[in-house]
Structures are given as structure tokens and as C-alpha cells.
Amino acid sequence: MLQLTYISTAAPSLSIYDAEMILETSRRNNSHAGLTGLLVFDGTRFLQALEGDQIPVEDTYLRICADTRHRAVVELSRRSVNARQFGGWAMASQVIGPIIGKGDIVGTVDALTETIPEPNTRALFRSFARLRAAWPD
């Protein structure tokens, strides 16, 4: 199974509605493609992990890279995993971090990542949330 993680920057024009549409589409498509993962949006950046069979992961990632609702997509890791790390979720993409203000992105992401078995993957999502929380408003 392939697990791919990337970070990207939302288009300046991205609205809450756009973000909700991205989540809805992702849940629907990923469910059909047998993909699991986690998508965290902190209002500025997206951090997403996708895992599943290689071809659907690659196909989905190509579509994501071509999407003009974000830019500067940087692949952080690409590795094969024996078992799903995000399989605890029946369904694909998860959170949208608080879009406006800090909210409780740290608490939300900590709770969501509790079941991720691999420490580095868990730490990646948790430090992303803390980085955002540390920024001045």
C-alpha cells in the first residue's frame, strides 16, 4: 500500500464554501477508490496524507496537484506501508481545522491522530497544528 503526504498553500481566494466542497468531493471519491487519509486545513495551508493501492493514490494525487484551489504543493513523504495508518476512519478526508482564528486546532488534531500507529506520521500532523497555533493573529 502506498502512503503519500504533502503540504500546500491555499489559493488566496479560497472560501469556506470551497473548503467544504473539497472535503465533500474527497470523501466521496476516496471512498470509491478505497483511499483513507487525513486532510487538515489551518486556514492557510493544507496537510494531507493519502493511503491505499498505488494507482488510485497516484491518480488522486495528480488531480490534487492540478487543482488551482491551492498551490506550492510539496510532497513530504512517499512510502509503502503494510497496514493502513488512517484506516480507523471509515472514510477519507477528515478535519478542517478552524478556518478563522486559532480555534482548538491543537486539541482537534491531537485527538484525530491518536490512533495513528507510526510516531513520525503522528508527529508531523501534531507539529503542523502547533505551528499554526504559535502564529500571531
Ligand X SMILES: Cc1cc2nc3c(=O)[nH]c(=O)nc-3n(C[C@H](O)[C@H](O)[C@H](O)COP(=O)(O)O)c2cc1C
Residue 70 as a binder of ligand X (CB under 6 A): the answer is yes
- The interface region with ligand X, picked from 44-52, 78-86, 106-114, 119-127 by CB under 6 A, is 44-52
Asked if residue 1 binds ligand X (CB under 6 A), the reply is no
Instruction: Kindly give, in sequence order, each residue whose CB lies less than 8 Å from that of residue 58, ignoring residues fewer than 6 positions away.
Output: 2
Residue choice 30, 36, 85, 121 for contact with ligand X (CB under 6 A): 30
From the list 67-75, 95-103, 104-112, 129-137, the region that binds ligand X by CB under 6 A is: 67-75
What DSSP line would sit under 49-78, residue for residue?
EEEESHHHHHHHHHHHHT-TTEEEEEEEEE
Overall residue count recorded for the chain in this entry: 137
First to last CA, the chain: 40
Which residues would be at the binding site for ligand X (CB under 6 A)? Answer: 8, 22, 25-26, 29-30, 39, 46, 48, 50, 60, 63-64, 67, 69-70, 93
